[in-house]
Amino acid sequence: MPPTIAPPHPFDTATALTAREPGVLLGRTTAAYANMVGPFGGITAATLLRAVLDHPERIGDPVALTVNYAAPIADGEFEVRARPARTNRSTQHWTLKLGRDGEVSTTATAVFGVRKPGWSDAERTAPDVPPAESLPVQQFPEAIAWIHNYEMRFAEGGPEGMATGEPANSRTAVWVRDVPHRPLDFPALASLADIFLPRIMMRLGRMVPAGTVSLTVHFHADAEILAAQGDRPVLGVARASHFGGGYFDQSAELWGADGTLLATSHQMVYFKA
């Protein structure tokens, strides 16, 4: 009897790209990662990062990724153009565009680097929260497709405040991992940086129109650290610093199961309230 071949993970399907010509790749949106308007921003960031990871000219691992969401991505096929802008001895700078029929929906830059051994230290430590297995899995409305691809266990700042209409602090701490469980890699880490509900909704205690304008992820882990993480939950902590003028910032940290800081992120978000 031939061996059973498991279907690809939904995340890998959503971020899959095929080469059309050097530096030009084709992808397709999937219903599983749909958001209110267009796809979930995290899956777009992961797809753009994958475009560089799969490029034959790429050197090193991700150091930083900035994604600017210029317009919603319509359902269906899209094109990604990835170009190395400059390659040095240990760093490489990339420019990326995602769009369709000549119209750009998303722009991005990425920095890759060859990490070298040397002195290291961490000034921040993982927050003291209950272990993931001691917390219940949060249930979400069916209408938000992408969020059901993640198992979330809130230690602090869950979405219940929005259900009661009570304003709350903007800080959230949540254990999160892919559903079905999947070993962590760089695209998945980039996507996790955007899983937090907009901080304005936590602060006001109600749903308001909001959308990420620009997201930057800084990667502190290398491939070896990600391999050690496996498919265990990641601890995500997010907070805002300022709301005003129709925009707010949102900072986040992603911690490994052993307390290692895997990535930090910062984004600017549009809101209307």
Residue 135 lies in a domain: yes
Residue 261 lies in a domain: yes
pLDDT in tens, 18-77: 999 888 999 999 999 999 889 999 999 999 999 999 999 999 999 999 999 999 999 999
In 3D, which of 132, 147, 247, 272 has the Cα closest to residue 197? 147
Per DSSP, which regions of the chain are E strands? 18-21, 24-28, 61-69, 77-87, 91-100, 103-113, 150-156, 172-178, 210-219, 234-239, 243-244, 247-255, 261-271
pLDDT in tens, 110-151: 999 999 888 988 899 999 999 999 999 999 988 889 999 999
Q: What's 53's domain CATH number?
A: 2.40.160.210
The residue to which tokens 């031939």 are assigned:
2
Domain count, the chain: 1
- The reported pLDDT for the residue numbered 6 is 74
Residue 123 lies in a domain: no
pTM, rounded to two decimals:
0.94
Residue 122 lies in a domain: no
pLDDT in tens, 160-200: 877 777 777 899 999 999 999 999 999 999 999 999 999 99
Residue 121 lies in a domain: no
- The reported pLDDT for the residue numbered 237 is 98
Domain that holds residue 90: 10-114+131-271
